[in-house]
Structure 1
């Protein structure tokens, strides 16, 4: 669809793009200084050489939103997940590139039938209070997560474990879950069926251990600062609501000697422009997003700081199948799905390189390709014509328009997507849509209580790199099935997928399940995610990965090149003075002369040019023609780093 032929949509898009302008009125913000790092040197042990590390190792991260809780079995959403990965460690962990590696378990065995996992825990692993991390801690944590009384948001990831389905349903007590402590440091997990992706599941927060004594002493408050005992690389040090969450290095962590970042601060910036301002002034090292209206400018002027990567996630709109008008009405749902011009939305609204999506599972899953509905190959004009036919068949017209509510969370991009969708439905079909905005926490609470509008913002970031993670969302009774979707045939296919060990058969079953889901259309696919963030160029140790999991324990700061230059100059000056003293002493004693180090020796000419003025300023000069940005008023707590 050409937006120029749709004046209403064109005006909405213009409003969206202008509404996100810079707070200080500048159309192109000035270039701020981010000192260049020294070259990274690695020791024989694969760690950064101490000589290149910055003196201060304190990380400031934008977290997007405020987490509801830091109870690993109750938390949901990636604002909580980012922090929990720093605080806790599962049986397995992830390397910076996303590869599964040993975590709290140093090794494991899997039986030939794939139904028994035996994990051998690290004997030097300790809780942050000094208690040993034992197999019983994992038994307690897994049982707690599976217990219906806990109401764990993601307990369904435990379904491959023997008896998990019955425990989750309340038909068996948690003690019947297929997990056993064979001894203090050996854990056995029995499976209902072979599960190829299970090792990745064991890195999910729903499988984290919980310090039983603390949980029993403090009850629901066990996850608060001062109470939380964790087994990860960091300890919860403070939580100022709507301000920041502070973590400090866990000195009892088994690999503490290789954790370089000493402190981590997470900030709940709902407004991306505010986060970007903080980043440009050096008050943040890592952002969760970037403002869409500054994306192209950032590509030109911050090429080293702007990082764009594929992300194993899908953005879509959900239908509430428990409310009219979408109950038993897949044709009407399809009409709204057809009307969304995904090329227009990704090119003009999101503008970050997202891929238009016509199915559920995004690209990036090894050896799996999703089915495409027939209409994915149509032109947008053909889709609109079919949508209008289906809309009329459902009994709606200009005189009797469909009236719906769209619920979405805070954030300019979410608002823009909701506005654009409402505009397209109005333009093509005549739908009357009311938009309801909610704070992230409130949105999650209402979603849990099934207080849902007819259409709502939805999406999924995969828990593990397997298509089943997405398909399982729509299983009947799944904790994240907020759509009210239920199909016995679909559930049966999911059961077969979970039990199938032959990869080719399993892929075929997943393909069939996704095809069936696209026919029923309980959701509207829109696009697959990419991550786009600003990262301080001195922050190293992390790698882009499709899961977008980035642990603070892997990261470290390099010295600024200018800092290293000044240190080298000071060392050379000291060496020269010592040499002169030695020469004087040798001359007095009648010893042979030695040639002192000549000034400037071993200093590259390019670096010698920085000796006049501030080296940081010389190394980070503003682009020609751009003015230095003026400081804006900042809220309390924004002290420079």
Structure 2
């Protein structure tokens, strides 16, 4: 071979090697996820750090698009009956599970029945109560085959409702009601969530789940829209140490990170650029729950005193640099179908007057100066922001003469403790609306809500007002029942809202397709990376 032909051969080989390397290069999204998921079983999920992963693995009939509005998912279209009582969904012909089998209407029938089956004890079972017989199945033992879901044929699902539900699509977009693969669940039982056993229908499939280290999902080649998924792999890191997460983001180790120390918002905007630091307003509340099962928190006077002594303006301005706003209602503002929320009776008082009134209430209840000692333990999930809030609230309560201690657990353990009925004094919690309706917030404190009524508060009049709202089809009359319920809740204050919760994210300039939205859903399938 002469020198020229050898050179040409070497160049061709180099080009082939280079093209092969480029073809094999993976596009990997590194996501800081704010905490360790309790589970990847959608029927038992309850917190957003789980939802972030599950939303990448599974796809419901509809999903939340980049702007936070429902868009077609496993269903390509749907029709609604004239009386708004029957929804008929047409599933995509090319919708498949990660094992290559077709996604069918029967998969959704199985999944929704499993979700409402009391034997499964799904914490979010109330999410599907608008479906005919769902509540009776979940709470009264009706047979699961009476649920108002029907496979008309392999690709047509019919859902019949108890009552017209204008936010049904938002309910069906929630990650908790995403379908499970019947064959995998029946074969593997609880182990169906493990890598190698999980069969999912979303844009990604589970590759690794290393506790307290990372969860890796990889692109699902059988996904109906795989051609438009720009990421090959997403790695979720359960980072509760916010300063450490920020450092990793600054070092380029993270492309996206959920949560950062919000008292550093201005600093981070200067360091990273305002376009990489996101604090979007959400339909969400930051609140404290009182355990009403034991003294002194079973006394409304004590709860009211403690609630009104909290300096919400300080929390908002000093800790969150106005990224979260003070909240004096149970329902955050901004829900068009509800109007202006109710407010607590002390909302218009200045902080000094609130403190004086709080001391009077405590004295009336037998606590404070000359009375019984008041000891309070504040529980919160490990997080720099939550610690600062708890410390500030403790200072407010110490000014009333209380002795205050703080207890923190990782996010998984914190919520598991509350949902399993663990005793406490005061516990931090947050709630993002599952759909743009006041009911999403008010339903938390219905006495039969065993999962999210952390303080085990019970009020028959409240339950009756909520029950009436479920039966009422006239929008204005329904809103009136919800307002009545909110007034009762604010008067009793088993929970006290502190702030309208903002969603803090760090998002690299390399990431395209990101949109802040009020439901705080950010599916990786809509993102790409330069």
Match of 1:468 in 2: 439
Contact residue 407 and residue 435 of structure 1 kept, 8 A: yes
Moved more, 450-459 or 361-370: 361-370
Decide whether the 8 Å contact of 2:263 with 2:319 is kept in 1: no
Q: Distance in 2 between matches of 1:130 and 1:166?
A: 36
Are 2:406 and 1:435 aligned?
Answer: yes
User: Which residue matches 2:73?
Assistant: 103
- Counterparts of 1:533-572 in structure 2, within 5 Å, are 533-558=505-530
Cα drift, residue 194 of structure 1:
1.2
- In structure 1, what is the equivalent of residue 10 of structure 2? none
| RMSD of equivalent CA atoms | 1.5
Shift of 1:130: 0.4
Deviations 1:467-488 (A, max 9, x none): 1100111112113111212222
Match of residue 210 from structure 1: 180
In the alignment, which residue of structure 2 is the partner of 1:393?
A: 364
- Contact 1:195–1:499 (CA<8 Å) still a contact in 2? no
| Contact 2:313/2:326 (<8 A) preserved | yes
Tell me if structure 2 keeps the 8 A contact 1:196–1:501: no
CA distance in structure 1 between the aligned counterparts of 2:167 and 2:347, rounded to whole angstroms: 30
Q: CA offset at residue 490 of structure 1?
A: 1.6
Q: CA deviation at 1:354?
A: 0.7
Correspondence for 1:444 among 407, 412, 415: 415
Q: Which residue of 2 aligns with 1:235?
A: 205
Question: How far did 1:396 drift?
Answer: 0.8
Alignment-derived partner of residue 562 in structure 1: none
**Residue number in structure 1 paired with 2:221:** 251
Post-superposition CA distance 1:7-43 (Å, at most 9, x none):
xxxxxxxxxxxxxxxxxxxxxxxxxxxxxxxxxxxxx
Aligned counterparts of 1:435 and 1:351: Cα–Cα separation in 2 = 23
Q: CA deviation at 1:238?
A: 0.6
Give the structure-2-normalised TM-score: 0.92
* Structure 1 unmatched ranges of 5 or more: 1-53, 559-641
Unaligned runs of 5+ in 2: 1-23
Indicate the residue corresponding to 1:480 in structure 2: 452
1:415 to 375, 383, 387: 387
Contact residue 262 and residue 323 of structure 2 kept, 8 A: no
Aligned ranges 1:339-358 → 2 under 5 Å: 339-358=309-328
Report the equivalent of 1:284. 254
Conserved? CA contact 2:285–2:501, under 8 Å: yes
Contact 1:259–1:554 (8 Å) recurs in 2: yes
Deviations 1:338-361 (A, max 9, x none): 100100111122335210011111
Deviations 1:543-595 (A, max 9, x none): 1101110010000123xxxxxxxxxxxxxxxxxxxxxxxxxxxxxxxxxxxxx
Distance 2:78 2:471 in 1: 21
In structure 2, the partner of 1:493 is 465
More strand by share: 2
Which of 485, 497, 500 pairs up with 1:525? 497
Give the whole-Å Cα distance in 1 for the aligned partners of 2:195 and 2:435: 29
* Cα offsets for 1:355-393 (capped at 9, x unmatched): 001111112322422112231011111111111110100
CA distance in 2 between partners of 1:314 and 1:244 (Å): 28
Residue 173 of structure 1: how far off its partner (Å) = 2.1
How far has the Cα of 1:439 moved from its partner? 2.1
CA distance in structure 2 between the aligned counterparts of 1:501 and 1:74, rounded to whole angstroms: 31
Q: Distance in 2 between matches of 1:101 and 1:442?
A: 34
1:509 maps to what in 2? 481
Distance 2:65 2:392 in 1: 39
SS in 2 for 1:232: coil
2:176 paired with 1:192: no
TM-superposed CA distance for 1:421, in Å, is 1.0
Work out the CA distance in 1 between the residues paired with 2:368 and 2:446.
Answer: 34
Question: Which structure would you say has the larger Rg?
Answer: 1
Q: Is the 8 A contact 1:232 1:253 kept in 2?
A: yes
- CA distance in 2 between counterparts of 1:481 and 1:197 reads 22
The answer to whether the 8 Å contact 1:91/1:202 transfers is yes
2:341 to 370, 393, 397: 370
Write the distance in 2 (CA, Å) between the matches of 1:453 and 1:335: 18
Distance 1:532 1:215 in 2: 35
Q: Distance in 2 between matches of 1:543 and 1:445?
A: 31
- Measured against aligned partners, the alpha-carbon deviations of 1:395-438 in whole angstroms (never above 9, x if no partner) come to 012342211222111111111111211111011x1011222212
> 2:62–2:172: 8 Å Cα contact kept in structure 1?
yes
Counterpart CA distance in 2 for 1:324 and 1:331 is 11
Query: 2:74 touches 2:92 (CA, 8 Å); kept in 1?
Result: yes
Partner SS, residue 533 of structure 1: strand
Matched, 1:159 2:129: yes
Provide the C-alpha distance between the structure 1 equivalents of 2:45 and 2:110, rounded to a whole number of angstroms.
Answer: 18
Q: Which residue of the partner structure matches residue 92 of structure 1?
A: 62
1:5-20 equivalence runs, <5 A: none
